[in-house]
Amino acid sequence: MKKHITLLSGLLLVTGAFAQQGKINAAAKPAKLSTEKPVATTVTPAATSKALGTTFYTNDFSTPSDWTINNSGQSGSTYGWTIDNTVDGWWAPTTGIASTSEGNFAELTNGDPTQTPGTQALNVTYTLTTTSSIPLTNGTNISLEFLQYGARFNDLQEIQISTNGTTFVAVGNNNDFDVLSQAGGSPYPNPSTKTINLASYLTSATEVWIRFSWTTNFPSSATNANVWVAYGWYIDDVKLTTNADYDLKVQSTYWGSEGLAYYQIPTSQIVPIDFSANVLNNGADTLNNVVYNVNIAGAGTFAGTSNSVSIFPLNDDSLAISTQFTPSAVGTYNVTRSFTSTETDDIPANNALANYSFAVTDFIYARDNSVYAGYTDNQTDGFEAGNFYDIFAEYDLEGVNTRFATGTPLGSEVYARIYSIDANGDLILEAESDLVALVAGNLNSNYFIPFSTPLTLVPGTYMAMVGTYDPNVRIANAGTTDPQTSFFLDGNDITVSANLFYTTDVPVVRLNFDPSMISVDEIAEFTNLNVAPNPFNNETAIKFDLKAAAEVSVEVTDLAGRVVFSAPATQMNEGTQTIAIDGAAFGAGVYNATLKVGNSVTTKRIVKK
């Protein structure tokens, strides 16, 4: 059955590389708007079925006096709300929101974080409120709808209403969108439609005021300028509409094994797959005999249904397919999903689910969906990115497959690491590959990073990461996932838990169990290379096993190539050998430790504290 992955003790896990609770990463970097980050349009198309709601209020900002602006004492077009047809912020394109009415729109800005120092205002709440109340002559079974554009960072973009003009309550926010940062994420589609059912908030109300409010999502960190960064929030074409008679709306869906969805499953890790959906009756009348249907064709066939339920207006329910599906053969499995009910849905577009496929493979285990869109990078320094994997049957791991996006500098050195999780929830390094340098042809392709010897994975949960110490390396993303299942490490030391964040974009980091892949040990003159401790204070040691007697030397250089330590060539015997590195004479920082054994040369990064 479905397993919920919880927070690991001792680690701060936060979305999109920026905190969604607790601490803030003071070094976090907003991401510039880029044409290299395509986004999928999620705008709900106009439905053409029967008893649709009636729009009884519209406002396209053509009359700015319809709205009252409170900009928290700030002045100037780059602070707070403005209403006009000009883009004032630092981030969005000059055309602003692509609304249906064009002309004026409302825009939220808060300085410019790209300046040094950033010019964002602190301790502000910016509000945009209807100047007059809106009479509810069509009753209270209504929804608020508007077009929006922008992106999230550490801000809280909130929609509020009032029934007396004084007390406002939040009825929605944009926390359902991913954070856009150097770890991934996307802007909102331009435009996206947001619809909020207000019926439960209005009851016997006769009028309503609408407010759009912006502030930080982290008031406990209000002195940190980073929590006051705003990409921008653009609003247009505000409407109030009576609710349709019958409207089933999907709130979330789930499919996968033990809490994780896999798009490639090796035969050694096949287990039953669950399917479920959470739905809301967003209409005015009860929906009867609501059923969730999942059909699979291709390498295997399956037809599953949930139990039928009746859902009252404004109630939700979870629909789980009553029978699990267990794939049985290598090949592609094509999944279609749908809902049925006694009543005809008036707005079928908001419960239409996209078809997708997954595959059973011989040796590849993948969380990403192979639809490459955007990338994870850290711009100026090292990082790691990767995913959780559940291992259900013991098997030997040969290495990790990944993909590097255009813009990654050739010559960049990368590595792979596998972490296990101990009883306390702490991540334990199980294996680390040697550093490998990227050459022409390595970008935008399937890239294999081998381990020196196969790593035996026993049943349990592991985290597979690809990392680098170099700037501007870009690890491709493909698809999205639930929070706390894919990760970004700002830096290269997993023990610094404050720098570990979750991202809802899925880095292309896959497990490869193919025993035919050539391991490092098959071509090297030594095996089991390890440097420990790393990071270190004054001394560390290189340990390795010689396959046969050989001449061995070690050289440590800084990142500028200057030699800071050397152990001259020495003849050593077959077996386990250790060479101590005295770091007392050089300062804290990152260094390259190069081991030369006969004709084999391997370099590892080491860090002196």
- 281-301: pLDDT as tens digits: 999 999 999 999 999 999 999
- 348-400: pLDDT as tens digits: 999 999 999 999 999 999 999 999 988 998 888 899 999 999 999 999 999 99
Closest CA to 590 of 377, 379, 416, 382: 382
Is the domain covering 524-608 a CATH 2.60.40.2550 domain?
Answer: yes
> How far apart are the C-alpha atoms of 490 and 423, rounded to whole Å?
24
Would you state the pLDDT for residue 524? Answer: 65
Token pair of 503 as six digits: 């991202």
Query: Which of the four pLDDT bands, split at 50, 70 and 90, describes residue 1?
Result: very low
pTM of the model: 0.73
Where along the chain do its domains lie?
Answer: 53-242, 248-361, 364-512, 524-608
What is the residue-wise DSSP string for 183-245?
TB--PPPSSEEEEEE-HHHHTT-SEEEEEEEEEES-GGGTT-GGGG----EEEEEEEEEEPPS
- 468-495: pLDDT as tens digits: 999 999 999 999 998 889 999 998 888 8
Q: To which residue do tokens 């770091």 refer?
A: 583
Would you state the pLDDT for residue 16? Answer: 32
Query: Which of the four pLDDT bands, split at 50, 70 and 90, describes residue 509?
Result: very high
Would you state the pLDDT for residue 518? Answer: 55
What is the residue-wise DSSP string for 548-599?
S-EEEEEEEEETTS-EEEEEEEEEE-SEEEEEEEE-TTS-SEEEEEEEEETT
Would you state the pLDDT for residue 176? Answer: 87
- 390-427: pLDDT as tens digits: 999 999 999 999 999 999 999 999 999 999 998 888 89
Q: Give the CATH number of domain 53-242.
A: 2.60.120.200
> Is 364-512 the same fold as 248-361?
no
pLDDT above 70 (res 35):
no
Residue 361 CA to its chain's centroid (Å): 25
Q: Give the architecture-level CATH label for domain 248-361.
A: Sandwich (2.60)
Closest CA to 76 of 111, 48, 45: 111
User: Do 285 and 245 touch, CB atoms closer than 8 A?
Assistant: yes
> How far apart are the C-alpha atoms of 339 and 250, rounded to whole Å?
10
Going by C-beta distance under 8 Å and a sequence separation of 6 or more, which residues neighbour residue 44? 193, 195, 347, 349, 350
Would you state the pLDDT for residue 601? Answer: 75
pLDDT above 60 (res 24):
no
Q: To which residue do tokens 């006969």 refer?
A: 598
> How far apart are the C-alpha atoms of 94 and 100, rounded to whole Å?
17
Is the domain covering 364-512 a CATH 1.10.3470 domain?
Answer: no
Query: Which of the four pLDDT bands, split at 50, 70 and 90, describes residue 30?
Result: low
- 298-327: pLDDT as tens digits: 999 999 999 999 999 999 999 999 999 999
pLDDT above 70 (res 20):
no
pLDDT above 70 (res 461):
yes
